[in-house]
Amino acid sequence: LLSGAVSSLVKMLVNRPRPGANVVRVIEETRQQSFPSGHTQFYVIFFGFIIVLMYNLKSLPVWLRLSCTILSLLLIFTIPFSRIYLGAHWFTDVLGGFFMGILCLSALAYFYLRKTGDQV
Protein backbone atom coordinates (compact mmCIF):
# COMPACT_ATOMS: atom_id res chain seq x y z
CA LEU A 1 0.00 0.00 0.00
CA LEU A 2 2.78 2.38 0.91
CA SER A 3 4.72 1.49 -2.23
CA GLY A 4 1.71 2.41 -4.37
CA ALA A 5 1.54 5.80 -2.72
CA VAL A 6 5.27 6.31 -3.23
CA SER A 7 4.96 5.30 -6.88
CA SER A 8 2.04 7.68 -7.45
CA LEU A 9 3.90 10.53 -5.77
CA VAL A 10 7.00 9.98 -7.90
CA LYS A 11 4.81 9.76 -11.03
CA MET A 12 3.32 13.16 -10.19
CA LEU A 13 6.70 14.71 -9.42
CA VAL A 14 8.50 13.37 -12.50
CA ASN A 15 5.45 13.73 -14.80
CA ARG A 16 7.05 11.73 -17.62
CA PRO A 17 4.76 10.84 -20.53
CA ARG A 18 4.39 7.28 -21.72
CA PRO A 19 5.78 6.17 -25.07
CA GLY A 20 3.62 7.38 -27.93
CA ALA A 21 2.36 5.50 -30.96
CA ASN A 22 4.59 7.67 -33.14
CA VAL A 23 7.69 6.18 -31.45
CA VAL A 24 6.76 2.61 -30.47
CA ARG A 25 3.98 0.14 -31.14
CA VAL A 26 1.57 0.78 -28.27
CA ILE A 27 -0.52 -2.25 -27.37
CA GLU A 28 -1.74 -1.07 -23.98
CA GLU A 29 -2.99 2.50 -23.54
CA THR A 30 -2.91 3.88 -20.00
CA ARG A 31 -3.58 7.28 -18.49
CA GLN A 32 -1.05 7.58 -15.68
CA GLN A 33 2.43 8.92 -16.18
CA SER A 34 5.25 6.62 -17.14
CA PHE A 35 8.00 6.85 -14.52
CA PRO A 36 8.35 4.62 -12.51
CA SER A 37 6.70 1.40 -13.63
CA GLY A 38 4.24 0.49 -10.90
CA HIS A 39 3.86 -3.04 -12.25
CA THR A 40 7.59 -3.63 -12.04
CA GLN A 41 7.74 -2.16 -8.56
CA PHE A 42 4.86 -4.39 -7.42
CA TYR A 43 6.41 -7.54 -8.88
CA VAL A 44 9.76 -6.85 -7.25
CA ILE A 45 8.14 -6.27 -3.85
CA PHE A 46 5.61 -9.12 -3.99
CA PHE A 47 7.76 -11.85 -5.49
CA GLY A 48 10.86 -10.57 -3.73
CA PHE A 49 9.06 -11.01 -0.43
CA ILE A 50 8.13 -14.55 -1.44
CA ILE A 51 11.86 -15.17 -1.85
CA VAL A 52 12.46 -13.73 1.63
CA LEU A 53 9.76 -16.03 3.00
CA MET A 54 11.25 -19.06 1.25
CA TYR A 55 14.62 -18.22 2.78
CA ASN A 56 13.06 -17.90 6.22
CA LEU A 57 10.58 -20.81 6.27
CA LYS A 58 12.99 -23.67 6.85
CA SER A 59 10.14 -26.07 7.66
CA LEU A 60 9.07 -26.19 4.00
CA PRO A 61 10.65 -28.82 1.76
CA VAL A 62 13.76 -27.66 -0.06
CA TRP A 63 12.28 -28.46 -3.49
CA LEU A 64 9.28 -26.20 -2.77
CA ARG A 65 11.42 -23.36 -1.47
CA LEU A 66 13.74 -23.62 -4.46
CA SER A 67 10.85 -23.84 -6.96
CA CYS A 68 9.13 -20.78 -5.50
CA THR A 69 12.39 -18.85 -5.49
CA ILE A 70 13.19 -19.70 -9.12
CA LEU A 71 9.66 -18.88 -10.28
CA SER A 72 9.71 -15.60 -8.37
CA LEU A 73 13.06 -14.61 -9.85
CA LEU A 74 11.81 -15.50 -13.32
CA LEU A 75 8.77 -13.25 -12.89
CA ILE A 76 10.77 -10.41 -11.37
CA PHE A 77 13.15 -10.34 -14.33
CA THR A 78 10.73 -11.05 -17.21
CA ILE A 79 7.60 -9.01 -16.40
CA PRO A 80 9.40 -5.66 -16.78
CA PHE A 81 10.21 -6.51 -20.39
CA SER A 82 6.52 -7.16 -21.05
CA ARG A 83 5.81 -3.57 -19.97
CA ILE A 84 8.29 -2.34 -22.57
CA TYR A 85 6.90 -4.71 -25.21
CA LEU A 86 3.36 -3.48 -24.60
CA GLY A 87 4.54 0.08 -25.20
CA ALA A 88 3.50 1.10 -21.70
CA HIS A 89 6.98 2.08 -20.49
CA TRP A 90 10.46 3.08 -21.49
CA PHE A 91 13.38 0.96 -20.29
CA THR A 92 14.31 3.60 -17.72
CA ASP A 93 10.76 3.46 -16.32
CA VAL A 94 11.04 -0.24 -15.53
CA LEU A 95 14.56 0.28 -14.22
CA GLY A 96 13.26 2.99 -11.87
CA GLY A 97 10.39 0.73 -10.79
CA PHE A 98 12.86 -2.08 -10.18
CA PHE A 99 15.08 0.05 -7.94
CA MET A 100 12.13 1.56 -6.08
CA GLY A 101 10.82 -1.97 -5.57
CA ILE A 102 14.20 -3.06 -4.20
CA LEU A 103 14.15 -0.15 -1.73
CA CYS A 104 10.63 -0.98 -0.53
CA LEU A 105 11.43 -4.70 -0.41
CA SER A 106 14.55 -4.01 1.65
CA ALA A 107 12.52 -2.09 4.22
CA LEU A 108 9.82 -4.78 4.29
CA ALA A 109 12.37 -7.58 4.64
CA TYR A 110 14.21 -5.68 7.36
CA PHE A 111 11.11 -5.31 9.52
CA TYR A 112 9.91 -8.85 8.82
CA LEU A 113 13.25 -10.47 9.59
CA ARG A 114 13.77 -8.26 12.63
CA LYS A 115 10.41 -9.40 13.99
CA THR A 116 11.18 -13.08 13.34
CA GLY A 117 14.60 -12.76 14.94
CA ASP A 118 16.67 -13.45 11.81
CA GLN A 119 19.40 -11.14 10.66
CA VAL A 120 19.04 -9.09 7.51
The structure's pTM equals 0.78
Q: Is residue 31 part of a domain?
A: no
Are the beta carbons of 86 and 28 closer than 8 angstroms? yes
Q: Considering only CA atoms, which of 85, 80, 56 is closest in space to residue 68?
A: 56
pLDDT, tens only, 15-62: 777 666 666 666 666 667 777 888 899 999 999 999 999 988 888 899
Number of domains in the chain: 1
Domain membership of residue 112 (yes or no) is: yes
* Pair 61, 43: CB distance under 8 Å: no
Q: Is residue 78 part of a domain?
A: yes
Decide: 70 and 47 in contact? Cβ < 8 Å. no
Range of the domain at 64: 2-7+37-116
Q: Is residue 30 part of a domain?
A: no
pLDDT in tens, 73-86: 999 999 888 888 88
Inside any domain, residue 13: no
Assigned domain for 32 exists = no
C-alpha distances in angstroms, 46 versus 39, 53, 98, 101? Answer: 10, 11, 12, 9
12 in a structural domain? no
